[in-house]
Chain A
């Protein structure tokens, strides 16, 4: 499954409609997600919930994306849309999902 187009793109569409700071978010790998040019911290929390729900609906896997592991990485998985896509793929792999 292509995470960027199948999970993040529809989540971004939903976020643009309902999260004020997400108006400029785009389903492009280099689009900033959090911080400069991206969403604010409450926007990120709400966006992560949207992504987790879409992953659950698509794969039946319940991921916790904002884990201590994710938060303590030197290079944040939430810095760009592409970084998040890679991180989701990694988490799904770790859960043994191979769809």
Chain B
């Protein structure tokens, strides 16, 4: 298992699926999770049914990693949900759901992954942020705020985990055509793309390229960094 063990949350579809397939192709053993079942079949893939914010469902993933793989090398905290709505019309149940998945889930996986990684004195954690935060997108208040929290977690955890040889970084995609953004109206999307330095949709490969950089053994001096795609700052 020279390439290591990589855990990808939200691996059933979208970016998570592409990330899982990419690391499988590179020879990693990949462990994925999502709330619904995955049809990804590969001898080096294992899928868990778990809501990332459900501690009781998540713990067995880490017990499995500890017992069957002796630890974890990389965590990609990809599971995330969004919701487009005017703040004045946003129900608190949406706030709870978004913060649960995006913030609580990300924290829970960081915590459990770090517990495993610290034993080997090395590890890589990559979280998913979004350009919605720096662009202060109207209609995405809760989503943008939840990812601002992920950014903050990334930076603080990077410091807490640095002495243990674990780096924590994040990548903030521009819109990538997945189910996540399917419901955003075209005019809104065009206006959004126009605010990027490079006004095009992102591809999973754009995101994976940044993750590859963070996971690289040569990136052991790179931590607490967030890279936005498309020239958004």
Contacts and interface: CB of A to CB of B under 8 A. Distances in A.
Nearest to B67: A57
Contacts of B155: none
Given A42-B163, A53-B66, A62 B59 contact: yes
Contact of A46 (B59, B63, B118): B118
A62 B59 CA distance: 9
A77 to B, nearest CB: 20
A53 B59 CA distance: 12
A18 B118 CA distance: 10
Contacts of B119: 18
A62 B163 CA distance: 26
Contacts of A42: 163-164
A13 interface: no
Chain B interface secondary structure, helix, strand, loop or mixed?
helix
A49 interface: yes
Contacts of A18: 119
Interface string B39-66: 0000000000000000000010001001
A53 B119 CA distance: 12
B22 interface: no
A42 B118 CA distance: 11
B63 A49 contact: no
Interface in B175-209: none
Contact of A49 (B59, B118, B163): B118
B196 to A, nearest CB: 41
A62 B66 CA distance: 14
Interface in B109-131: 115, 118-119
Interface in B81-116: 115
Contacts of A49: 115, 118
Interface string A21-52: 00000000000000000000010001001000
Contacts of B115: 49
A56 B118 contact: no
Contacts of B63: 56
B203 to A, nearest CB: 39
A7 to B, nearest CB: 17
Interface in B156-181: 163-164
Contacts of B164: 42
A18 B115 CA distance: 14
B223 to A, nearest CB: 17
Nearest to B55: A62
A57 to B, nearest CB: 9
A47 to B, nearest CB: 11
Contacts of B118: 46, 49
Closest 7 CB pairs of A and B: A49-B115, A42-B163, A62-B59, A46-B118, A53-B66, A56-B63, A18-B119
